[in-house]
Amino acid sequence: MLDIRFDNVTIIDGTGKPGFLGSVGVEKGRILEVGFCDGSAKETVDASGLCLMPGIVDNHTHYDAQVTWDPHCNPSPLLGVTTLVMGNCGFTIAPCYPSDREITMRNLTQVEGMSIDALREGIDWSFETFPQYLDMLEEKGVAPNVCCFVGHSSVRTYILREEASKRVATSEEIQQMKAIIVEAMEAGACGFATTRFPGHNGEGGIPMPSRLADDAEMLALSGALKDVGRGVLMMTKAFDMPISKIEKLSAEANRPYIVAALLHSHLDPNKTFSDLLEIKGAQSRGNRLYGAVSPCPLNMDFSFHSPYPLEGFTCWHPMMDLGREAYKDALANPDFRQAFMDELNSGEVKVFSGEWEKVYVALVARAANASFEGKSIADLAEMSQKAPLDFMLDLALEENLDTMFTATIMNSDEEAVGKLMCDENAIISLSDAGAHLTFLCDAGFGLHVLGHWVRDKKIMPLEKAIHKLTLESAKLFGIKNRGYIAPGAWADLLLFDPSTVGRGPTQRLHDLPAGASRLTTPAEGVHGVWVNGQKIADQHGFINGSPLAGQVIREYDA
């Protein structure tokens, strides 16, 4: 007898082939029959008018800390994600000596916008090494399936300790790091992740450790995957970093390399397309590079307590190590403001591109300023006869830095973003789920693709979009028997209404450890999410007693 039978459902199997009407039978966590199922079942689901697809594979998340206190990885499974990849950019929490936990948490607070109080109260530190971390996750259980990168910054900190963000490594230290990566890969890591992005800074504006790596270190650590014979490499690069340098690393390791974050900026509108063209060239030479593009506008909420969108500016770095009063004095200083504008107008591509008409006052701290809410900085500056930066900083200072702003800082040109998503050398990625919780929530990126881009904008067929959200990433990472609907595959499934699917409006909740806040977006049009044949969510959210049905994936195809 089947455990579940889905009847009268449009099956879109993840391969890119046209959908078809039929039934799907599930038994013991796997798909047993597809097309016509005449056997009895413990549960039948009449899915008339709905589509059944493989669960979304989110290849760019940062749940490494959250998963230790929240095995459901809220909200991703609610948004159709059944398998997620953690540890992107190399921002992991394992390996970690007990004496380095505080700096690891403080760095995450800065670079990933995480609450230090939530991290201190929430993280379960019952591990030290990377294999122990995977063992702990398996013992505790997880709701979605999880894959874990071993992260460069954590490995570097483990070997270089307090010197990790200060200097290049010796040849002996490089070999020690390489050994840890090999150990992690043999224990079940999905690959090795790093960052070279200048905006990735830790506490006090210090560079995240991986940014101190020289070419010898990068070649050796990427090459560790060649020794193992499997795994994926991932890098968040500097905007001006040539693709050829990453191709060299990929060739050294003979492994695929994911290049992030290819976001569109009006400051250099052709740059991302030229990167993808170079990636195409690398592919033609047999080097498997893939450009990670986002289907979402990069929207961020921020205050000047921690203005993440601006922290990639060189002139901002000294600000990050100032005491509170000195910091406020610096924000008021005309010389600093001029230096910021000079750098903004230099033409160099940064996360914040100066589109003041797309920066809004989201929430004021003083009732007298309530009329500002919902208005753009461009309009408010014009009304006050001030320069936009002056208006924004003056308002923040007047309200003791408590003013909340929201900005669309990149990926705002929909025509360009649509072209990026359709590029044959790009993967749909960059949800950043689990990070920047106080600033953004793109965990629903897949539902946004299905609703906004496929149904509303019609940039690609539904079957192709589902392939890119599921089997394409599963194949890239070597994730076995997932990302498609066929007999023998794991029953990771998403049941949805194609006429209503999407992500809802952003909401702010205060449900993290220590009462810290996070942004989230509700699912629309989702009727059910199954992981390994067990239902964990429906249109109302996580089901009562939602099972920890996921697996910590530790075996991959080469």
320-338 in b/e burial notation, b at 16+ Cβ within 10 A? beeeeeebbebbeeeebbe
**Per-residue model confidence (pLDDT) at position 320:** 86
What is the pLDDT averaged over residues 42-70? 98
- Contacts with 512 (C-beta within 8 Å, 6 or more apart), sequence order: 115, 118, 122, 437, 518
Specify the pLDDT at position 347. Answer: 80
Predicted confidence at residue 494, as pLDDT, reads 99
DSSP secondary structure code for residue 433 in this structure: B
For 386, counting Cβ atoms within 10 Å of its Cβ (0-12 exposed, 13-18 middle, 19+ buried), the class is middle
Average pLDDT over residues 530-546: 94
The pLDDT of residue 204 is 81
Q: What is the pLDDT of residue 168?
A: 98
Asked if 144 and 535 count as a contact pair (C-beta separation under 8 A), the reply is no
Cβ-contact 530, 55 below 8 angstroms: yes
Q: What is the pLDDT of residue 311?
A: 84
Residue 225 lies in a domain: no
* Nearest residue to 369 (alpha-carbon basis) of 388, 397, 409: 397
For the chain, report the end-to-end CA distance as a whole number of angstroms: 35
- Residue located via tokens 């961020």: 300
Omega before 269 within 30 of 0, i.e. cis: no
Q: What is the DSSP string of 473-531?
A: HHHHHTBTT-SS-STTSB--EEEE-TTT-EE---EEE--SGGG--EEE--EESEEEEEE
SS3 213: coil
Mean pLDDT across the chain: 95
Residue 82 pLDDT: 98
What's the pLDDT at 285? 97
pLDDT score for 113: 80
Domain assignment present for residue 332? The answer is: yes
How large is the average pLDDT for residues 258-272? 93
Q: Is the pLDDT of residue 140 over 80?
A: yes
Q: Are strands 289-293 and 257-260 parallel, antiparallel or unpaired?
A: parallel
Residue 250 within a domain: no
Q: How far apart are CA 494 and CA 258, in angstroms?
A: 26
Number of domains in the chain: 1
Q: Are strands 30-35 and 20-27 parallel, antiparallel or unpaired?
A: antiparallel
Q: Quick check: is 362 in a domain?
A: yes
Q: What is the pLDDT of residues 337-369, one digit of tens each?
A: 999 999 999 888 888 888 999 999 999 999 999
pLDDT band for position 137 (cuts 50, 70, 90): very high
Percent share of the chain, pLDDT over 90: 87
Query: Rounded distance, CA 365 to CA 423, Å?
Result: 44
Return the ∠ at Cα 86 (arms to 82 and 88), rounded to 5°: 135
Task: Let me know if residue 543 belongs to a domain.
Answer: no
- Provide the sign of the torsion angle of the four alpha carbons 361, 238, 230, 485, taken in this order: positive
Note the helical H segments in 71-202. 101-111, 116-122, 130-140, 152-160, 171-187
438 pLDDT more than 80: no
Task: Compute the distance between CA of residue 281 and CA of residue 274 in angstroms, rounded to an integer.
Answer: 11
- The answer as to whether 366 is a domain residue is yes
Distances (CA, A) of 463 to 11, 48, 371, 491, 499: 10, 18, 46, 18, 15
User: Residue 517 has what pLDDT?
Assistant: 87
Average pLDDT over residues 200-225: 94
Per-residue b or e along 452-461, where b marks 16 or more CB atoms closer than 10 Å to that residue's CB? bbbbeeebbe
Has residue 396 been placed in a domain?
Answer: yes
Peptide bond before residue 95 is cis, with ω within 30 degrees of 0:
yes
Which range has the worst mean pLDDT, 439-443, 511-515, 528-532? 439-443
Nearest to 149 by CA among 432, 429, 477: 477
For 176, phi and psi rounded to 5 degrees? -65, -40
What pTM was computed for the model?
A: 0.93
Instruction: Name every residue whose Cβ is closer than 8 Å to that of residue 70 and which is 6 or more positions away in sequence.
Output: 122
pLDDT category of residue 306 using cuts at 50, 70 and 90? confident
The pLDDT of residue 325 is: 96
Using CA atoms, how far apart are residues 483 and 552, in angstroms rounded to an integer? 16
pLDDT of residue 74: 97
The stretch 375-400 carries a mean pLDDT of 97
Domain presence at residue 334: yes
Q: How high is the pLDDT of residue 340?
A: 96
353: containing domain: 302-408
What stretches of 267-425 adopt beta strand conformation (E)?
289-293, 298-302, 359-363, 404-410
